[in-house]
A and B are shown apart, each in its own frame.
Chain A
Amino acid sequence: MQKATKVLIILFLIFVISIFYISLNRDTSYNTSSLINKELPEFEISFFNEKKFYKNNDLKKNNYTLINFWASWCAPCRTEHPILMKLSQEKNLKIFGVNFKDKKIHADQFLKELGNPYAFIGKDINGKQSVRFGIYGIPESILINKNLLIMKKFVGPLSSDDLSQIVEIIN
C-alpha cells in the first residue's frame, strides 16, 4: 500500500509539473491563422458620404480586396499610410477603408493631408460592424479574394514585409 501511495504521489507530481510546463509555454497571444480560408462574415457598412450600404457582394467584383480599418485619431494608422498608398497602385487590388469610430471632418482632413489610398470608404461609427470581422483595435487589415475568402489578416500597422507578402499573394 505504501509503495502504491508513493507511485501515486510521484505520478501526481509529474502530472502537475507537465500541466504547468504546457500552460506556461503556450502562446496565448491572438492568432489569426484560424481565419485563413474562412469566408468573410455578412456585413452592412454604410458609405462614408452617402446613406447607402456596402455589402459582401460589392467586394466580389474585385480580384483581391484589402479591408483596412483606420481612424484619424489612430497614430499607427499614420505609420502604415505610406504602405497603403503603395498598395493602391496595384492593379489586382482594391482597398476598402473602414473609418472606425471617427468624425467625418477629421477623417477627411486625414486623407487630404496623407492622400487617399482607398477605392471605396465606409464608416463604422460605433464599431459594432467591426466586431463581425473580429477587430479589437486599429489598424487592422484583412486581405480577401474574389470568393470572399480570407487570405490573411494583419493586426497592427502594415509593415514593408506585409507589403511584400500582399504583393506576392495578389500577383
Chain B
Amino acid sequence: MKFKLFLILFVLYSQSIFSEEKKIDPNSIHKNLRCLVCQGQTISDSNSDFAQTIKLVVKDLINEGKTEEEIYSFMSDKYGEWIVFKPELNMHNSLLWILPYIALIFGGFFIFGLIKKRQ
C-alpha cells in the first residue's frame, strides 16, 4: 500500500517537474532581445511597433514548441547576433567570455604573490 502511494506521488511529482520544464517565460526572452529601432531598450521595455511584432512571433515560436535557444537562434538568423543581449559563445566573442576567468586567475596569483612576499 505504501509502495503504491509512493509510486503515485512519484509519478505526479515527476509530471509536475516535466510540465514546469516545458514552460518558457516569454518575458525572459523579451528581456534578452534588443529593440532594433529603439535606443538601448529591450523588446520587453519597448512599446514600439517592431517590439510588438517580435512579441507576437516569440509567442508563436513558443507555441510551436521551440526552445529558448532555438528562438534566439531564429532571431539571430533574421536580424544578426546584435539582436540578442547575451550572445552565444563563438569564435568572435570567445575572448569576452574567457577573459574574466583569466583575469580572475591571474589576479589570484598576483594577490597570492603579494601576500607571500609580505610574509
Tell me, in angstroms, the Cα distance from A41 to B79 when the chains sit together. 13
Q: Is the CB of B82 within 8 A of A131?
A: no
Tell me, in angstroms, the Cα distance from A31 to B81 when the chains sit together. 11
Q: Is the CB of B36 within 8 A of A128?
A: no
A162 to chain B, nearest CB (A): 21
Per-position 1/0 for B28-64, Cβ under 8 A of A: 0000000011000000000001100110110010000
Tell me, in angstroms, the Cα distance from A127 to B57 when the chains sit together. 9
A residues less than 8 Å from B117 (CB atoms): 1
Contact of A137 among B37, B78, B82 (CB under 8 A): B37
B98 to chain A, nearest CB (A): 14
With known contacts A1-B113, A8-B110, A137-B37, A127–B53 Cβ distance under 8 A:
yes
Q: B100 at interface (Cβ–Cβ under 8 A)? A: no
Interface size class of B (residues with CB under 8 A): 10 to 19
Q: Is the CB of A136 within 8 A of B80?
A: no
Q: Which residue on B lies nearest to A133, using beta carbons? A: B78
B residues less than 8 Å from A132 (CB atoms): 78
Q: Is the CB of A137 within 8 A of B50?
A: yes
Q: A147 at interface (Cβ–Cβ under 8 A)? A: no
10 nearest A-B pairs in the assembled complex, by CB-CB distance:
A127-B53, A134-B78, A131-B57, A136-B36, A136-B50, A128-B57, A134-B79, A128-B56, A136-B37, A126-B56
B interface, CB within 8 angstroms of A: 36-37, 49-50, 53-54, 56-57, 60, 78-80, 82, 110, 113, 117
- 7 residue pairs of the A-B complex, CB under 8 angstroms, read A28-B82, A30-B79, A127-B49, A128-B57, A131-B53, A131-B54, A136-B37
